[in-house]
């Protein structure tokens, strides 16, 4: 059942932003799941991570409840203030490291609320992240072609230690498929674009699609047999590595299986350029998130604006020092000013995403934002003291009515895992009652 | 800091009695210089390492090793002649223990599998079109014999071992499938070829144990050893000569192994050691993301960035090809500069835009790695030098004696509250905190001795504040390092230098982190390498001939939950 989308061509073009000069197809065919539940606009989760904490005095609104005003750092949200909920006071106790290593440990626990095992490599262990719990749930329903997308703009320097004895995967990934498996992120907009839009076979007949599926399956069968034979000859540690292989093959199989199903007919938009400027890269990634949601290619996205402990130099903000160095502010006002400038820029990028999601409507004519949950946070509160309490938290979008926005909610000392229980439930995951190390119930007051 | 040898080799030991001993060695008049050593003695004397006499050395085990991006690209280059670098579109590999070939942290995510599948399709289509894969003509009526030939040859090379008849039978299955769909046999063969590239036997370097649950060491198979060698030296698959040596079971004797190593080091593919080992050990890779503040250090640009990177790579390359003593990296009396970099350094211009080898006998300040703009830049902050980062680099990358990380709340240098304060005064100020003093007493002097190099590696006599540079570092024992020359002598004389270089090289060679259990092996390899002459090739050979490299064992780890 195909349906004309309610997207106007202009909306689509705007949605594509500077990224895409389209030959945009007229039809915006909804996904397979849409057919199963035609009356529902899908819910979507986007996580926007920033490293090194936030300078909280310029971030936290003074008022509470609906009586809140935008602070200097939150000012970029002015045009979407009514769609934003600020939550103060949430804590992620599991982010505290053994000894030092707050950035890596905090980041590994960011969405998993599970304490990361301190290791430089051997015996990597964290926990499944809440976005992946949601992705798994949606994958079981075959909701979208991609269960989730993991994005970032920071490839990392690839040298030395990552953070005080914590392995780099802890610092470079917020999405974890399970205790041992970080979900590698893509940092090149072009590669993301190719993945989302490159594999479409427009105009393919059903027979051709069936043949392609059969061929794809033959490869999967073959390599799975290789792996099964191999598995019997391996010790426990190697079997664990091979488990990652089996999991990935299963995932690939789902995609091959879905071949020929018109999951996305988003046309063949033009690819983003190869600009290395972090501003251009970030914007390209935001545009890709919007497109992926709009085309219903996925409903779960995580994005890392930089890796944990990033010492990026924001020269375009007029700053000469590195982000991490500033975050150890030593209570010096010039450092506070530098941090506030970086924080505000980060919020601007987030605000852009929120604004775009508000402007773009889904196939039912509803703004994407209405049913979305757009979550902003960092691994610590303040970079100087590495505090894992009172984390900076923003939620934009109403999550289909789960969230009452335009408020400042105070939740001092409440585990952030409780927020995640609420988010997972809002995204339709059934029977989530506990999560991570300390999540025991939904976060009270989210719905107003 | 790390759970490896560092923990045990208390850096404080270095700050104590060790220093006195070392400084005694620093006072010699004639500066050491790089030189080509005489031939290796014919009969290597047996090496004894104190404290390890009665230790049976456990070779440990390497986790199933996924090819990283560099290895994938080099492998498809050698397997298919494909130079398109398909792995550039793969997600970035994480690194562990300082290297991105660490098997434990090389995960395989669904995203990566998707990339592998599409890369395989593109690679095979393009190689097929180029005609590099067909060894015979596929007869439409009776394609099997030729298909069998193509697939068994390809799988042998791609999987770096002989394939069994059953495996070839399995690979032939898509032939029938293609026929069923009315496609010519080449479609089936291409499907099979694609599956070879997505198979775990291609994506992983597979090593098996006869008894996976036993900790008794055993020699790795000849093919596993061939792969260990080729991925260590080339970041790529074994070539035909190596595969045949394995097939003929020739890789057993030290003599044959040495011959192979020498052959492989002479091959241009050994350039992989420069970009993948040295690039990470010496931090050259970080140059790409270095961002010196343009208002203060506007002289830094991409031309210099490239020239600095080439300088360090070419120097390391020369150590590889011309057999200098590895220790001489610290003070090698030559380097490679083009006009831009020479001007930047204040050296006579070689009159070329491409790097030229230049003699540094008149310019001791540029000797060795500490005179390299690459290292000096990546161990600086964007707007000022960082004696701490420089000191930590020396302790961690050369002496494996890095101090523990700073406690919370005190990380980082205090901001320039008083701009007239010199770097030395500022370091002294933050060393005045009792919780900092212990560690910084060792880090700071090593970095302070390099204060004559600004954040982009230029020689300077004045700090940004205008104050004269004070490049003296006071060691914990009261001795003073006066500038870079003293510092080079100090580092070079440290007995931990050979062991530390071994540790990094071994970590890279095996693709696993080292731990306390590897200590005797590291010491033995270092002693062997030094006894052979101490050249880079001696280190490589000592590693390749060690039990750590030629053996492995199973693991008895309990089944993970």
pLDDT over 80 (residue B561): no
pLDDT bracket for residue B19 (50, 70, 90):
very low
Identify whether the C-beta of residue B434 lies closer than 8 Å to the C-beta of residue B389.
no
Contact B94 A172 (CB under 8 A): yes
Give the whole-angstrom CA distance, residue B138 versus residue B147: 7
How far away is chain A from the Cα of B431, in angstroms, using its nearest Cα?
A: 15
Q: Which residues of B481-511 are buried (b: 16+ CB within 10 A; e: fewer)?
A: bebbbbbbbbbbbbebbbbbbbbbbbbbbbb
Dihedral angle sign, alpha carbons of residues B271, B275, B280, B282: positive
With a CB cutoff of 8 Å and minimum separation 6, the contacts of A227 are A242, A245, A246, A249, B199, B200
pLDDT at position A267 is: 58
Closest CA to B224 of B213, B212, B216, B232: B232
Q: What is the DSSP string of A256-303?
A: HHTTTS-------PPPP-----HHHHHHHHHHHHHHHHHTTS-SEEEE
CB B142 within 8 A of CB B208: no
Residues B113/A219, Cβ–Cβ less than 8 Å: no
The long-range contacts involving B144-150, CB below 8 angstroms and separated by at least 24 positions, are: B144/B172, B144/B175, B147/B172, B147/B175, B147/B185, B147/B188, B147/B189, B147/B192, B148/B172, B150/B189, B150/B193
How crowded is the C-beta side of A81, counted as CA atoms within 13 Å? 15
Q: Do B293 and A124 touch (CB under 8 A)?
A: no
Tell me the per-residue pLDDT of B310-352, one tens digit each, with 9 for 90 and over. Answer: 999 999 999 998 879 999 999 999 999 999 999 999 999 999 9
Over residues A261-270, the pLDDT tens digits come to 554 556 556 6
Q: Is the pLDDT of residue B94 over 80?
A: yes
Which of B 264-283 lie inside 8 A of A, CB atoms? 280, 283
The torsion region of residue B67 among left (phi > 0), alpha (psi -120 to 50) and beta comes to beta
The strand pair at B480-482 and B472-474 is best described as antiparallel
The per-residue pLDDT for range B384-439, each reduced to its tens digit, is 999 999 999 999 999 998 777 666 555 554 455 566 778 888 888 777 777 777 77
pLDDT (mean) for B264-278 = 97
B162 at A interface, C-beta within 8 A: no
Residues 6+ apart with CB under 8 A from A68: A61, A62, A86, A406, A407, A408
Does the structure show a pLDDT above 60 at B26?
A: no
Interface of B with A in 372-411 (CB under 8 A): 378, 381-383, 396-397, 404-409, 411
Pairwise CA distance, residues A64 & A55, whole Å: 19
**H-run or E-run covering A242:** helix A236-257
Residues B19-23 have a mean pLDDT of 32
Query: Which parts of chain A sit beneath pLDDT 50?
Result: 1-39, 263
Distance CA A167, CA B99 (A): 11
Taking only the tens place, the pLDDT of each residue in B355-385 is 999 999 999 999 999 999 999 999 999 989 9
Q: What local confidence, expressed as pLDDT, does residue B417 receive?
A: 53
* Interface test mutation site (partner B, options A103, A120, A250, max chain B beta carbons within 10 A): A120
Residue B507, pLDDT > 60, answer: yes
Interface test with A, best of B4, B111, B205 (most A CBs within 10 A): B111
pLDDT at B43: 54
Higher-confidence residue: B51 or B455?
B455
pLDDT value at B135 more than 80: yes
Q: Enumerate the H helices of B248-358 as residue ranges.
A: 254-266, 271-272, 279-281, 294-297, 302-322, 339-345
Q: Is the pLDDT of residue B545 over 60?
A: yes
pTM of the model: 0.90
Q: Which of B95, B200, B513 sits opposite A122 (nearest CB)?
A: B513
Nearest-neighbour CA in chain A from B66: distance (Å): 9
Phi, psi of B454 (to 5 degrees): -75, 180
The per-residue pLDDT for range B168-193, each reduced to its tens digit, is 999 999 999 999 999 999 999 999 99
B108 and chain A in contact, CB less than 8 A: yes
Chain B, 226 to 245: residues with Cβ < 8 Å from chain A are none
In this predicted structure, what is the pLDDT of residue A260? 59
CA atoms within 13 A on the CB side of B376: 29
Which residue of A95, A98, A174, A226 is the best one to mutate when testing the B interface, meaning the one whose CB has the most B CBs within 10 A?
A226
Measure the CA–CA gap between B515 and B518, rounded to whole angstroms: 5
Q: Residue B15: is its pLDDT beyond 60?
A: no
CB-nearest to B170 from A165, A187, A222 is: A222
Task: Kindly list the residues from chain A whose CB atom is less than 8 angstroms away from the CB atom of residue B98.
Answer: 159-161
What local confidence, expressed as pLDDT, does residue B419 receive?
62
Given a cut of 90, whether residue B283 has pLDDT beyond it is: yes
Enumerate residues 6+ apart whose C-beta is below 8 A from B324. Answer: B34, B35, B36, B318, B332, B535, B536
> Which chain B residue lies closest to A188 (C-alpha atoms)?
B89
Contacts of B296 in chain A (CB under 8 A): 320
Q: Do B3 and A384 touch (CB under 8 A)?
A: no
């Amino acid at each position: 059942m195909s349906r004309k989308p309610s997207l106007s061509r202009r909306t689509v073009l705007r949605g594509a932003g500077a990224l895409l000069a389209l030959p945009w197809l007229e039809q915006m065919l909804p996904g397979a799941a849409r057919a199963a539940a035609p009356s529902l606009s899908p819910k979507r989760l986007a996580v926007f991570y920033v490293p090194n904490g936030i300078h909280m005095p310029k971030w936290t609104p003074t008022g509470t409840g609906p009586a809140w005003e935008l602070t200097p750092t939150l000012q970029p949200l002015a045009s979407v203030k009514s769609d934003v909920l600020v939550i103060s006071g949430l804590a992620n106790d599991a982010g505290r490291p053994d000894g030092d290593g707050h950035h890596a440990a905090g980041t590994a626990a960011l969405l998993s609320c599970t304490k990361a095992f301190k290791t430089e490599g051997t015996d990597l262990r964290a926990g499944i992240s809440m976005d992946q719990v949601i992705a798994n749930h949606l994958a079981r329903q075959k909701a979208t072609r991609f269960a989730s997308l993991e994005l970032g703009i920071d490839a990392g320097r690839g040298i030395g230690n990552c953070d005080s004895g914590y392995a780099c995967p802890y610092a470079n990934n917020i999405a974890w498929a399970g205790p041992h498996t970080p979900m590698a992120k893509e940092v090149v907009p072009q590669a993301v674009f190719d993945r989302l839009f490159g594999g479409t076979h427009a105009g393919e007949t059903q027979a051709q699609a069936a043949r392609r599926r059969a061929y794809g399956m033959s490869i999967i069968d073959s390599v799975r047999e290789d792996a099964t034979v191999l598995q019997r000859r391996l010790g426990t540690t190697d079997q664990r590595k091979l488990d990652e292989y089996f999991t990935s093959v299963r995932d690939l199989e789902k995609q091959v299986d879905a071949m020929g199903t018109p999951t996305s007919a988003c046309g063949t938009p033009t690819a983003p350029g190869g600009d290395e400027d972090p501003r251009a890269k970030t914007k390209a990634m935001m545009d890709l998130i919007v497109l992926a949601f709009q085309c219903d290619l996925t409903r779960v996205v995580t994005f890392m604006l930089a890796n944990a402990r990033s010492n990026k130099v924001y020269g375009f903000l007029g700053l000469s020092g590195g982000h991490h160095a500033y975050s150890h502010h030593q209570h010096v006002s010039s450092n506070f000013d530098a941090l506030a400038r970086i924080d505000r820029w980060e919020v601007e990028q987030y605000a852009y995403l929120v604004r775009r999601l508000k402007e773009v409507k889904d196939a039912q004519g509803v703004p994407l934002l209405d049913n979305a949950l757009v979550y902003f946070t960092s691994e610590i509160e303040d970079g100087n003291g590495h505090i894992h309490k009172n984390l900076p938290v923003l939620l934009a979008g109403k999550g289909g009515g789960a969230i009452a926005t335009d408020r400042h909610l105070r939740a001092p000392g409440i585990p952030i895992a409780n927020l995640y229980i609420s988010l997972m439930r809002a995204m339709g995951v059934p029977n989530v009652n506990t999560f991570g190390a300390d999540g025991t119930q939904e976060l009270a007051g989210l719905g107003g | 800091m790390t759970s490896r040898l560092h923990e045990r080799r208390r850096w404080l030991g270095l700050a104590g009695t060790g220093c006195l001993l070392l400084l005694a060695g620093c006072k010699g008049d004639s500066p050491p210089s790089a030189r080509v050593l005489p031939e290796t003695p014919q009969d290597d004397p047996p090496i004894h390492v104190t404290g390890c006499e009665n230790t049976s050395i456990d070779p440990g085990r390497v986790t199933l090793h996924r090819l990283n991006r560099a290895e994938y690209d080099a492998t498809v280059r050698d397997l298919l002649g494909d130079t398109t670098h398909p792995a550039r579109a793969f997600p970035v590999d994480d690194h562990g223990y300082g290297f991105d070939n660490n098997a434990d942290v090389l995960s395989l995510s669904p995203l990566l599998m998707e990339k592998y599948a599409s890369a395989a399709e593109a690679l095979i289509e393009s190689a097929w079109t180029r005609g590099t894969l067909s060894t015979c003509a596929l007869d439409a009526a009776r394609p099997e014999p030729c298909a069998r030939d193509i697939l068994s040859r390809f799988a042998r090379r791609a999987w770096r071992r002989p394939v069994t008849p059953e495996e070839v039978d399995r690979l032939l299955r898509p032939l029938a499938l293609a026929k069923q769909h009315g496609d010519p046999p080449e479609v089936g063969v291409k499907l099979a070829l694609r599956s070879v590239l997505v198979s775990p036997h291609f994506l992983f370097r597979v090593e098996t144990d006869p008894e996976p649950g036993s900790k008794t060491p055993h020699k790795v198979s000849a093919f596993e050893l061939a792969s260990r060698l080729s991925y260590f030296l080339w970041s790529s698959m074994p070539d035909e000569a190596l595969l045949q040596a394995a097939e003929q079971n020739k890789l057993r004797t030290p003599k044959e192994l040495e011959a192979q190593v020498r052959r492989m080091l002479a091959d241009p593919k050994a350039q992989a050691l420069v970009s993948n080992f040295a690039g990470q050990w010496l931090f050259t890779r970080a140059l790409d993301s270095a961002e010196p503040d343009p208002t203060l250090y506007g002289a830094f640009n991409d031309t210099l960035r490239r020239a600095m990177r080439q300088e360090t790579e070419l120097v390391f390359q020369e150590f590889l090809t011309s057999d200098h003593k590895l220790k001489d990296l610290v003070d090698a009396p030559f380097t490679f500069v083009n006009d831009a970099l020479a001007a930047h350094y204040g050296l006579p211009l070689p009159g070329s835009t491409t790097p030229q080898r230049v003699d540094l006998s008149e310019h001791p300040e540029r000797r060795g790695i500490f005179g390299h703009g690459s290292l000096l830049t990546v161990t600086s902050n964007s707007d000022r030098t960082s004696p701490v980062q420089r000191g930590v680099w020396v302790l961690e990358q050369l002496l494996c004696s890095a101090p523990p990380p700073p406690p919370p709340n005190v990380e980082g240098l205090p901001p320039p509250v008083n701009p007239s304060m010199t770097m030395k005064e500022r370091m002294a100020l933050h060393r005045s905190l009792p919780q900092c003093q212990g560690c910084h007493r060792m880090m700071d002097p090593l970095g302070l001795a390099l204060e004559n190099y600004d954040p982009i590696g230029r020689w300077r006599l004045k700090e940004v504040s205008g104050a004269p540079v004070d490049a003296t570092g006071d060691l914990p024992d009261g001795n003073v390092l006066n500038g870079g020359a003293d510092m080079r002598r100090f580092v070079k004389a440290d007995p931990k230098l050979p062991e530390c270089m071994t540790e990094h090289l071994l970590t890279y060679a095996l693709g696993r982190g080292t731990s306390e259990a590897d200590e005797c092996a590291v010491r033995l390899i270092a002693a062997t390498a030094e006894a052979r002459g101490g050249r880079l090739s001696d280190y490589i050979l000592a590693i390749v001939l060690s039990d750590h490299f030629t053996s492995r064992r199973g693991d008895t780890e309990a089944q993970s939950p």
